[in-house]
Structure formats: C-alpha cells, structure tokens
Amino acid sequence: MCHVQAARGTSLTPDPTRQGEPAARPRRFGLLVFVALLVLLLDQATKALVVATMPGRPPVEVVGQWLQITYALNPGAAFSVGTGLTVVFTAIAIVVVLVILRVGRRLRSVGWAIALGGILGGALGNLVDRLSRPPAPMRGHVVDWIQVPHYPVFNLADSAIVCSAVLMVVLSLRGIGLDGSRPGDAKPAAVLSPGAGVAHDHDG
C-alpha cells in the first residue's frame, strides 16, 4: 500500500500565480463599447455638419483634387454598392450589431476590441441614417461626404469599417485570438507549487 503525502508546509493545490503562469486577461468589452461610441459620435457629428452646410454647394477642396468634402445621399451599402437593396442592408446591419455585442462579452484582446468596436460603430453610424433619414424608416439614405479621386463618396463610418476589417486580417494572420492568446503561449498545467515535496511511504 502506498501513501502519498505532501511535504510539510506545501500543498497539492495548483497555484498559477506561483507557477509563473499568466493571469487571466481582463475583459475588453468596455473598450469595444468606447471605440464604437467614439466612431458613432464622430460619424453622426460630421454628417450633421455636412447636411447643414453642404447641400446645393460645389465640393470643397481640402487637399486639392485629392481630398474634397461633398454631399451625397446613398441608398445602398458602403461606397454606394447595392443601391436597390436598402432594406436588406439595414437588416444585415442590425444582425451585425447584435452578433458583435454578443461576441464582445468574451473579448480579452485589445486589438480585437478595437477592431470589433470600429466595425460596430461604423455599422451603427450608417444604421442610424437608415432608420432616421428620408425617405422612410429602414429605407433611409446614408449621408456620404468624403471624396477622393477614382473612388465612390464615403463617410467616417465606412472608413471605420474598412480600417477595422484590415486590423482583423492582421490579427488573424498573427494568430491572435479573441481571448488575446498567441501561438506558443503557455497553457495552464495542474502541477505542484515550486518547492513542494512529495514523500512516499511504503507499507508491506
């Protein structure tokens, strides 16, 4: 018969903090919400300014022909794609918002929180237009105002979505998970604390 007994003053209970294992990363839902609200507020503020000052005016040059401020109403998706599918894009935007909010509660990665927050804010920015602007709820036209050469007119919400999508690709290529884990990260193991001894007694 064999009895296993921990050395005096030691414990068989794993202690990750004493094993040098990384502590659990904090949740990043608050950061996601902050980024989303920042994008939403900036998008809606710039749109309100454009609607108040630009209708009926020619484009305003900011950097010559390379960057201009103009006024356009878009019934389609980002960059004037699918102009006849306004209701469909509105429904898709609502689904995207709900999915990101659900996934966001598990986030522990700063990068993913920023990326998903940017997409959430961009989706909400254009969704507000579709729900509140003419000609009707769910069919409202999105305000676009940024014009660059050889590119459809767009807005800050579109920019946030595109930049966030690029960041998501970078995070994926680097193997960074939603929980902030990276390839090669140590996995927690149920082992004795350093310095713990094990004594063996044998009874015949």
Give tens-digit pLDDT for 6-20.
445 544 555 544 454
- Residue 1 lies inside a defined structural domain of this protein: no
- Residue 129 lies inside a defined structural domain of this protein: yes
Which residue range forms the structural domain that includes residue 159?
Answer: 27-178
For the cut 90, the answer to whether the pLDDT of residue 177 exceeds it is yes
Selected catalytic residue, list 15, 43, 129, 144: 144
| Residue 108 tokens, joined | 């522990």
- Residue 12 lies inside a defined structural domain of this protein: no
Angle among Cα 138, 69, 33 to the nearest 5 degrees reads 50
Residue pLDDT, tens place only, 80-109: 555 556 777 788 889 999 999 999 989 999
- Residue 156 lies inside a defined structural domain of this protein: yes
Residue pLDDT, tens place only, 26-56: 999 999 999 999 999 999 999 999 999 999 9
Determine whether 201 is an active site residue.
no
* CA gap 202, 204 in Å, rounded: 6
- Residue 42 lies inside a defined structural domain of this protein: yes
Selected catalytic residue, list 158, 185, 201, 203: 158
**Mean pLDDT to the nearest integer, 195-204:** 49
Number of domains in the chain: 1
Phi then psi for residue 107, to 5 deg, are -70, 135
- Residue 163 lies inside a defined structural domain of this protein: yes
Long-range contacts, stretch 188-192, CB < 8 angstroms, 24+ apart: 188/14, 188/16, 188/21, 189/14, 189/19, 189/21, 190/14, 191/14, 191/19, 192/6, 192/10, 192/12, 192/14
76: confidence class by pLDDT, cuts 50, 70, 90? low
- Residue 193 lies inside a defined structural domain of this protein: no
Determine whether 185 is an active site residue.
no
**Mean pLDDT to the nearest integer, 98-121:** 95
145: confidence class by pLDDT, cuts 50, 70, 90? very high
- pTM for the predicted model, two decimal places: 0.76
